[in-house]
């Protein structure tokens, strides 16, 4: 009789599992979190448009007068203007099969509790999506199609603001017409290609890919406002319903990188332009930070290494010194540096977070109906499905009080083509 083998006892063996499930994707934990959680002012709004006043000029007329019987003439008062802005509504939905919940509701069944993990992940995913939308021009546009418009593989100008699992819609180039379908991003192939679950059958080249929009969405939907909306030198663009060319103070200071690498001289010029624009004391009672995309963080790091080596402080090989900069400790002109994995790689923003505020009609939280926050699924006929759903929702908007208190450098060279566009 042959000797027994391991196959004979397989049924009795305990199958091990590594009790960790790493996330095979990147989440942006960036500026939106700093605004929402970092002490920024909160303003509660109703369904009416919010009024945003601003001062165009101070009061008083200065000039010479004749002290020998002349008149003093009339004076004048300060002049105010006003913009208006309405909140936007955002949601993140999670659907789970009851089998997922029942199969993982006890540590003896699974090392992950699906319901608890789904709730925790939803908060992180909402923050990630809001940070990506924050880096648009305030118009919901994530990228522009250049080829493959009626297939599941699309070629676009950039995939920087996309990620797997993001729900997207398609609009005509002028944002006047929404395509009928919504779909999911299933794969990021490269910096300019990605795949979707279902092709946009009516899409055309140069169409816009946006965050998911409902069937009732209007033309030119409004997105979450961020640096590219508020911080601009383009006087032909609007700040809410006010044309910047009509109020030059709404234009932001700007330094043109002209395709060159970032330098300390550019940063100093930007800070000086901000002083000229808003006064010598603009940096007092503020919370300024430089917002660097990773490309420009590396460019700044490369510059620091070169300077250290030229100055004679770069003999690191025998000293065991870390040549890479620590973004948590590094500063530019005494101002801290924040980094973003989804910001435009050719741009650096100088942001005063003390000037930001959030207008909230409904703060971020679970959608509820009379205290109920988890809802059973239903099919098209209203029959109960063995699924459960919950949604995180937000109705509000992000704002700055004074766009002229912020500044930026644009059209910078990237240290590597790997950073994309």
**Structure tokens given for 190:** 């490269």
From CA 400, how far away is CA 379, in angstroms rounded? 44
Report which of 245, 336, 338 is spatially closest to residue 294, judged by C-alpha positions.
338
**Structure tokens given for 154:** 């699309």
Report which of 386, 408, 404 is spatially closest to residue 228, judged by C-alpha positions.
408
Mean pLDDT value across residues 361-369: 92
**Res 339: pLDDT:** 92
pLDDT, tens digit (0-9, with 9 covering 90-100), for 253-293: 999 999 999 999 999 999 999 999 999 999 998 999 999 99
Tokens 């409004």 locate to: 222
Domain ranges within the chain, ordered by starting residue: 28-51+82-87+229-308+323-421
**Residues facing residue 395 across a β-bridge:** 89, 362
- Highest-confidence range of 1-10, 248-257, 321-330, 375-384, by mean pLDDT? 248-257
Q: How confident is the model at residue 316 (pLDDT cuts 50, 70, 90)?
A: very low
From CA 363, how far away is CA 359, in angstroms rounded? 9
Q: How confident is the model at residue 307 (pLDDT cuts 50, 70, 90)?
A: low
From CA 80, how far away is CA 52, in angstroms rounded? 10
Calculate the CA 234 to chain-centre distance.
21
From CA 170, how far away is CA 183, in angstroms rounded? 9
Which residues, 6+ apart, have CB-to-CB distance to 244 below 8 Å? Answer: 232, 234, 235, 236, 237, 238, 250, 251
**Res 25: pLDDT:** 58
Half-sphere exposure in the Cβ direction for 139 (13 Å, CA): 20
* Count of other CB atoms within 10 angstroms of residue 108: 4
From CA 141, how far away is CA 121, in angstroms rounded? 25
**Res 196: pLDDT:** 95
Which residues, 6+ apart, have CB-to-CB distance to 185 below 8 Å? Answer: 162, 163, 164, 165, 166, 167, 168, 194, 195, 196, 197
**Res 22: pLDDT:** 65
From CA 79, how far away is CA 343, in angstroms rounded? 36
Residue 381: pLDDT over 70: yes
Residue 106: pLDDT over 80: yes
Residue 1: pLDDT over 70: no
Q: Can you say whether residue 279 is alpha, beta or left, with left for phi > 0 and alpha for psi between -120 and 50 degrees?
A: left
Residue 101: pLDDT over 60: yes
Residue 212: pLDDT over 80: yes
* Count of other CB atoms within 10 angstroms of residue 83: 18
From CA 32, how far away is CA 354, in angstroms rounded? 13
3-state secondary structure (DSSP) of residue 305: helix
381 vs 324, higher pLDDT: 381
Q: How confident is the model at residue 226 (pLDDT cuts 50, 70, 90)?
A: very high
Cβ atoms of residues 384 and 70 within 8 Å: no
Residue 32: pLDDT over 80: yes
**Residues facing residue 147 across a β-bridge:** 155
Torsional sign, CA 192, 197, 202, 207: negative
From CA 87, how far away is CA 105, in angstroms rounded? 38
**Res 23: pLDDT:** 63
**Res 317: pLDDT:** 45
Tokens 């040549």 locate to: 323
* Count of other CB atoms within 10 angstroms of residue 77: 10
């Amino acid at each position: 009789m042959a000797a027994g083998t391991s196959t004979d006892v397989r049924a009795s063996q305990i199958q091990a599992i590594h009790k960790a499930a790493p996330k095979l994707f990147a989440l942006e934990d960036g500026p939106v979190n700093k605004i929402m959680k970092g002490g920024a002012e909160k303003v509660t709004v109703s369904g009416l448009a919010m009024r945003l006043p601003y001062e165009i000029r101070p009061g008083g007329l200065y000039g010479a007068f004749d002290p020998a019987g002349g008149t003093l003439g009339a004076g004048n008062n300060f002049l105010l203007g006003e913009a208006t802005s309405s909140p936007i509504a955002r949601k993140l939905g999670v659907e789970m099969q009851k089998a997922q919940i029942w199969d993982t509701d006890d540590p003896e069944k699974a090392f992950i509790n699906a319901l608890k993990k789904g709730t925790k992940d939803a908060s992180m995913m909402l923050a990630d999506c809001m940070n990506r939308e924050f880096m648009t021009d305030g118009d919901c546009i994530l990228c522009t199609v250049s080829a493959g418009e009626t297939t599941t593989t699309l070629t676009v100008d950039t995939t920087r603001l996309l990620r797997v699992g993001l729900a997207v819609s398609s609009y005509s180039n002028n944002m006047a017409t929404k395509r009928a379908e919504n779909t999911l991003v299933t794969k990021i192939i490269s910096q300019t290609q990605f795949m979707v679950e279902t092709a946009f059958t009516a899409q055309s080249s140069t169409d816009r890919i946006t965050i998911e929009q409902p069937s009732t969405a209007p033309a030119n939907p409004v997105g979450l406002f961020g640096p590219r909306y508020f911080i601009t030198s383009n006087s032909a663009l609007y700040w809410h319903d006010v044309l910047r060319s009509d109020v030059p103070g709404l234009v932001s200071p700007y330094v043109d990188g002209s395709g060159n690498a970032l330098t300390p001289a550019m940063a100093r010029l930007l800070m000086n332009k901000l002083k000229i624009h808003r006064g010598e004391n603009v940096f007092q009672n503020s919370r300024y930070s430089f917002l660097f995309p990773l490309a420009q963080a590396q460019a700044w790091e490369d510059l620091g290494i070169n300077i250290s080596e030229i100055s004679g402080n770069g003999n690191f090989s025998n000293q065991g010194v870390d040549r890479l900069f620590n973004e948590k400790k590094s500063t530019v002109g005494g101002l801290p540096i924040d980094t973003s994995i989804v910001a435009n790689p050719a741009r650096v923003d100088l942001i005063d977070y003390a000037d930001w505020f959030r207008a909230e009609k409904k703060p971020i939280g679970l959608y509820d109906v009379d205290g109920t926050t988890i809802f059973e699924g239903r099919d098209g006929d209203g029959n109960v499905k063995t699924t459960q759903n919950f949604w995180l929702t937000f109705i509000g908007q992000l704002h700055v009080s004074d766009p002229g208190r912020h500044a930026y450098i644009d059209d910078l060279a990237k240290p590597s083509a790997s950073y994309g566009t």
